[in-house]
Amino acid sequence: MATTFERAATGRPVSRTPVWFMRQAGRSLPEYLKLREGTSMLESCRRPDMVTEITMQPVRRHGVDAAIFFSDIVVPLQAAGVGVEIKPGVGPVMDQPICRAEDIDALPELTPDDIPDIVESVRGIVEQLPEDTPLIGFAGAPFTLASYLIEGGPSKNHEKTKAMMVGAPELFDRLLSKLDVMSELFIRTQVEAGASAFQVFDSWAGYLCEEDYRRYVLPHTQRLFSGLSDLDVPSIHFGVQTGELLTAMSEAGSTAVGVDFRVDLAEGIKRIQPHQALQGNLDPAMLFAPWEALQERIESIVRKGLEAPGFVFNLGHGVLPNTDPEVPGRVVREVHRISEQVLAEKA
Ligand code: 1CP
């Protein structure tokens, strides 16, 4: 039987709205900080005992309706042999940024033999998860991964990436094609090992105008989703500041589209495909607001979201580092309460 999350993410009826939070595992949890002491981020991602425990922590503490695999979008690059490190407080940093054709040709391919630990981690998590709590796998979208490779690390303006995109489109296309294959294998590995759904993070797509997105990026993301369509599991496509791109992103082929907090959900519904589910979109900063103010926001989002064919409650981006670890669980309970009430009113 499909779980509430799987039903909502594919537009099937539910009795209440499922909730999970991007970055629900991590810096906001004292038990995470303790476990991570002395182990680098990428090493933690490759140790099945740690991945399993960290993925389970928010499920236990917050009672969320889905777990998200603890990993990072650069893990497949690192597993394939690319020199990359995740610097605390910075993010992924590359040993050697990509700029020429030779760099792209030299980019190693990911093979199943590089990631037996991912299979082991997923199996360990699925064994521990309650039956009604699915595991969501994920990967970075080709464009967002390309930005880290070309810029060499986190970037404010993505100028080198855009320069290659318009100045050497055939190189850019070759790079994104290689990343497509890598992300497809990373997701396929997670789902075949037991993940019930997946999310594609195109975090930095929102830096593009729609014309460039459609011309240089969308065909690759479409290929990624169509390559995974045989898995027949719910899929979510998410990016930050993508209000202007939502319609184009909705054409990539996911069952659900993630909306960040800048877009009103009533407007978001109009911009995606009529059959698609919606995921979002509470501003993560609102978890710091007084409870009554937060409650009002939750109710407004749930009422709007439930007008879509399917609705998954989430934040508009990741949980912020200093979030009170008691608050996400309260949000979960409140979303359940309000959505049950709204769905009863509609029945
Ligand atoms: O030092 C630390 O503790 C590392 C902090 C950290 C964590 C906990 C990083 C570095 N990544 C992660 C885990 C992570 N990354 C998850 C775990 C599952 C969960 O959601 O609980 C996921 C899904 C990601 C995916 C990811 N990594 C994205 C897409 C999501 C998003 O936030 O938009 C991106 C852009 C990255 C790159 C990255 N990794 C880490 C940081 C700080 C960043 C962003 C850096 C930047 O601003 O460019």
Q: In the chain, how many domains are there?
A: 1
Please say if 72 is a catalytic residue.
yes
Q: Establish whether 32 is an annotated binding residue.
A: no
Q: Are 267 and 252 in contact (CB under 8 A)?
A: no
d(CA 143, CA 200): 11
Name the residue type at position 36: R
Q: What is the pLDDT of residue 293?
A: 98
Q: What is the pLDDT of residue 1?
A: 78
For the four alpha carbons of 77, 172, 95 and 109, in that order, the dihedral sign comes to positive
Name the residue range of residue 53's domain.
4-346
pLDDT digits (tens, 9 = 90+) for 38-70: 999 999 999 999 999 999 999 999 999 999 999
Over residues 133-156, the mean pLDDT reads 98
CA distances from 220 to 166, 197, 263, 301 (A): 16, 20, 25, 31
d(CA 9, CA 277): 6
Distance 121 CA to ligand 1 centre (A): 18
DSSP 110: P
Distance 41 CA to ligand 1 centre (A): 10
Q: Using the CB atoms, write b or e for 252-285: b if 16+ within 10 Å.
A: bbbbbbbbbbebebeebbebbeeebbbbbbbbbe
Q: Give percent of the chain with pLDDT exceeding 90.
A: 99
Nearest CA to ligand 1 atom 35: 203
Please say if 114 is a catalytic residue.
no
Instruction: Locate the ligand 1 atom nearest the alpha carbon of residue 21 and give its number.
Output: 20
pLDDT digits (tens, 9 = 90+) for 327-337: 999 999 999 99
**Per the residue annotation, which of 65, 72, 114, 202 is the catalytic one?**
72
Q: CB-based contacts of 113: which residues, under 8 Å, 6+ apart?
A: none
Q: Which two tokens stand for residue 121?
A: 């981690």
Instruction: Locate the ligand 1 atom nearest the alpha carbon of residue 45 and give its number.
Output: 13
Q: What is the pLDDT of residue 196?
A: 98
DSSP calls for 46-88: T-HHHHHHHHHHHHHHH--S-EE-S--TTHHHHHHT--EEEET
User: For ligand 1, is residue 318 a contact (CB within 6 Å)?
Assistant: yes
Q: Which two tokens stand for residue 145?
A: 């991964």
Full-model pTM: 0.97
Distance 20 CA to ligand 1 centre (A): 16
Instruction: Locate the ligand 1 atom nearest the alpha carbon of residue 72 and give its number.
Output: 15
pLDDT digits (tens, 9 = 90+) for 181-194: 999 999 999 999 99
Nearest CA to ligand 1 atom 4: 41
Q: In what order do the strands lie in the sheet with 311-315?
A: 67-68, 135-140, 197-201, 235-238, 256-258, 277-282, 311-315
Please say if 213 is a catalytic residue.
no
Over residues 275-290, the mean pLDDT reads 98
Q: What is the pLDDT of residue 347?
A: 86
Instruction: Locate the ligand 1 atom nearest the alpha carbon of residue 86 and give its number.
Output: 10
Q: What is the CATH number of the domain that holds 267?
A: 3.20.20.210
CA distances from 58 to 65, 188, 332 (A): 10, 24, 11
Q: Are 94 and 100 in contact (CB under 8 A)?
A: no
d(CA 67, CA 138): 11
Q: Establish whether 24 is an annotated binding residue.
A: yes
Over residues 314-318, the mean pLDDT reads 96
> Ligand 1, from 19, 22, 23: best to mutate by most atoms within 8 Å of Cβ?
23
**Per the residue annotation, which of 7, 16, 32, 148 is the catalytic one?**
148
d(CA 132, CA 4): 7
Please say if 123 is a catalytic residue.
no
Q: Where are the beta strands (DSSP E) in 148-300?
A: 197-201, 235-238, 256-258, 277-282
pLDDT digits (tens, 9 = 90+) for 234-254: 999 999 999 999 999 999 999
Q: Are 50 and 69 in contact (CB under 8 A)?
A: no
Please say if 12 is a catalytic residue.
no
